[in-house]
Amino acid sequence: LPVHPENYNNEEDEKLVEDYLNKFYAVEPDPNQLGWKINAESTAEKLQKMQKFFGLKVTGKPDSETLEMMKKPRCGVPDVGLYG
Amino acid sequence: VTLPGWKKTKLTYRIVNYTPDMSKEDVDNAIQKALKVWSTVTPLIFTRIHEGIADIMIAFGTKAHGHCPRYFDGPLGVLAHAFPPGNGFGGDAHFDEDEDWTTGSAGFNLFLVAAHEFGHALGLSHSNDQRALMFPNYAYVSPSEFPLSPDDISGVQSIYGSQPNAPDKRPATPTSPKTCDSQMSFDAITTLRREVIFLKGRHLWRVYPDNSQVELELISTFWPNLPSSIQAAYENTKDQILFFKGNKFWVISGYQVLPGYPKNISTLGFPKGVKKIDAAVCNKNTGKTDFFVGDKYWRYDENSQSMETGYPRRTVDDFPGIRQKVDAVFQQKGFFYFFHGSKQWEFDPTTKKVIREIKRNSWFNC
């Protein structure tokens, strides 16, 4: 589901979400992949994955509970994929 | 999720540099203790080296640091990161020097964060079990408590097996307090309808006095957002429980923490000088709650939601016989039960008399 900008309160939140998902929920490229990956995950799909991981309501939208969770101090290792 | 682990059980580690936040000795101890968390439940042995390349290189850095492919982000946010077993960066753990590293609950406890990162250095990914050490978000747990959850232990033992000389070969489980341990003391006690809840560290006991049933649970099983080592708790007149730790308190209704909590205890009417609450009990007959702090107590009117004037008063003046700091207190069938150290007193608030002194663990059929 595409995430529409009106779901962000402000630019800061938007950047927080993008940074967070890129840092911890970006699926690392498959080393054996020969060409471009045509169906990169959308922000909403990564958001849903993050919400599922933390036991939040899986909405695919950056609701206040999700933003709150993203602001908590944490480890820098990704939550998905092979964190190597 | 686990990755291939080290192909050996004897691993080396090296502390490359230090944070100015802590003494070198404290850093050394925190790192050593963090590694011991894992060696306690596996055959792994960690040996420190001071020169050259160790399997686990431990360093503090800020933003972009050295050749590390990842960067830090200043205070808060990302606290540390580590790499899975392997050569080069494999097994290394980096800590963000822009954080406030400590040995206690203030700032970020280096022992707890290091123990988490060493889980990655041994091959563990993040766990979505909030009670697990390998849960990605930082959560302070008293260092005196064993930080590994069953989830952490089964993960690491699926890679390395269990500790060869563990006495009963069962996977080591976190030490949970023994109910009838004569040394057992309680952080806080509250009622919840017809049951009594005793809190200690990360655990709670649910006691049903009517049929003497006792259940041991993790606090986080019911209330994941609550911290461990709660200092005071009471059930008010609205079927809610209030939990206190430091200068914060939470209001719980059923399984939910009410929105807007934790709040500062000053919102209840305590003066700024009060930093924490020792114990609290709501007298169901009067609708008044007594908060015990040191040798004094405050009285709060649950109906008007305000602190009564003329307080604090000395506890012993209104509760004759209760001379010492109150660790915990609750009301059952009209009587108050005060706990201090190894003692418990049954007190009648109507006649204002101690009726008898009882063993602290009398509620547990020991």
Average pLDDT taken over every residue of chain A: 78
CB contact under 8 A, B72 and A76: yes
Q: What is the pLDDT of residue B269?
A: 92
The single residue of B25, B97, B99, B117 carrying the catalytic annotation is: B117
Whether the CB-CB separation of A47 and A61 falls below 8 Å is answered with yes
Q: Please state, as a whole number, how many other Cβ atoms lie within 10 Å of the Cβ of residue B305.
A: 9
CB-CB contact of B31 with B38 (8 Å): no
* Predicted local distance difference test score (pLDDT) of residue A83: 55
For residues B24 and B186, which has the higher predicted lDDT (pLDDT)? Answer: B24
Q: Does B263 touch chain A (CB under 8 A)?
A: no
Closest in B80, B84, B86 to A76, CB measured: B80
| Amino acid code (one letter) for A23 | K
Give the mean model confidence (pLDDT) for residues B239-267.
Answer: 89
The Cα-based distances of B234 to A15, B291, B351 in angstroms read: 42, 10, 22
Enumerate the residues of chain A whose CB falls inside 8 A of the CB of residue B128.
53-55, 79
Partners of A77 on chain B (C-beta within 8 Å) are 81-82, 120, 125-126, 136
Q: Alpha helices, DSSP H only, in chain A?
A: 11-24, 43-53, 64-70
- How far is the first Cα of chain B from the last one, in angstroms, to the nearest whole number? 41
Interface contact A76-B83, CB threshold 8 A:
no
CA B199 to chain centre: 11
| CB atoms near residue B241 (< 10 Å) | 18
Q: Which two tokens stand for residue B60?
A: 């503090």
Can B99 be counted among the known catalytic residues?
no
End-to-end CA distance of chain A: 30
List the single residue in A with minimal CA-CA distance to B73: A76
**Which of A53, A69, A74 lies closest to B138 in CB terms?**
A74
Q: What is the pLDDT of residues A38-79, one digit of tens each?
A: 445 688 888 999 999 998 999 989 998 899 999 999 999 999
Q: Which has the minimum average pLDDT: B65-74, B200-209, B264-273, B279-288?
A: B200-209
Tokens 């290091």 correspond to B114
Q: Does any CB of chain A come closer than 8 Å to the CB of residue B88?
A: no
Residue B212: band (very low, low, confident or very high) from pLDDT cuts 50, 70, 90: low
Decide if A38 touches B, using CB distance below 8 A: no
Q: What is the mean pLDDT of residues B249-256?
A: 87
B225 pLDDT tier (thresholds 50, 70, 90)? confident
Report pLDDT for B173: 46
Are A77 and B82 a contacting pair at CB < 8 A?
A: yes
Question: Cβ–Cβ of B137/A74 closer than 8 Å?
Answer: yes
Higher pLDDT pick, B254 / B299: B299
Q: Please give, rounded to a whole number of angstroms, the shortest distance from the CA of B168 to a CA of chain A.
A: 34
Say if A83 is an interface residue toward chain B (CB within 8 Å).
yes
Q: Which residue has the higher pLDDT, B110 or B256?
A: B110
Band of residue B176 on the pLDDT scale cut at 50, 70, 90: low
Find residue B182's DSSP bridge partners: none
Q: Which residue has the higher pLDDT, B96 or B350?
A: B96
Q: How far is the alpha carbon of A1 from chain B, nearest alpha carbon, in Å?
A: 24
Q: Which residues of B touch A55 (CB under 8 A)?
A: 128, 130
Q: What is the DSSP letter of B158?
A: H
- Determine the residue among A69, A72, A74, A82 to mutate to test chain B binding: the one whose Cβ has the most chain B Cβ atoms within 10 Å: A74
Judged by CB atoms closer than 8 Å, whether chains meet at A55 and B125 is answered as no
Query: Measured between CA atoms, how close is B202 to chain A, in angstroms?
Result: 20
Closest among B47, B39, B33 to B163, alpha carbons compared: B39
- CB within 8 A of B174, min separation 6: which ones? B145, B146, B148, B149, B150
Q: Is B61 on the interface with A (CB under 8 A)?
A: no
